[in-house]
Amino acid sequence: MYTERVMDHFNNPRNMGEVEDYNAEGTVGNAKCGDIMRMTMRIEDGVIEDVKFKTFGCGAAVATSSIATEMVKGKTVEEALKLTNSAVVEALEGLPPQKIHCSVLAEEAVRAAIENWRERAGEE
């Protein structure tokens, strides 16, 4: 049912936890199931230097968060904002149709964190 890639990221999630001294934070919830994802980032000069996630959710949400952090780490915020849930699903070599909604959390968490960073920058 799940690809090897999904199982790998589920069993060995990358970048799990919270970035020390983060300056961007996004928490999003999935309206369909109530699961929650929190992403923290350290952004320097518009580049995502570090990113970590915590997911209170299903295995597909853990796998998508994990691969999404890998996909945006080292990228500029503009590049990271282009991350779509379909790109995340593609990187995982597919998800079962009933689990596609789980991948939306990762895209939304990245956006929410960057939005938060922009708000903070505006405040300074």
58 is catalytic: no
Question: Quick check: 105 binds ligand FES (CB under 6 A)?
Answer: yes
The residue count for binding ligand FES (CB under 6 A) is 9
First to last CA, the chain: 48
Answer yes or no whether residue 33 interacts with ligand FES by CB under 6 A: yes
Query: Which residues of the chain form beta strands (DSSP E)?
Result: 24-29, 36-44, 47-56
- Counting every residue written for the chain, the total comes to 124
Q: Is 51 in the site for ligand FES (CB under 6 A)?
A: no
Kindly name the residue from 102, 104, 106, 113 that is annotated as catalytic.
102
If you ran DSSP here, which 8-state letter would residue 76 be given?
A: B
What does the per-residue mask of binding to ligand FES show for 61-100, with x meaning CB under 6 A? x---------------------------------------
Per the CB < 8 A criterion, the answer to whether 68 and 89 are in contact is no
Enzyme catalytic residues:
33, 102
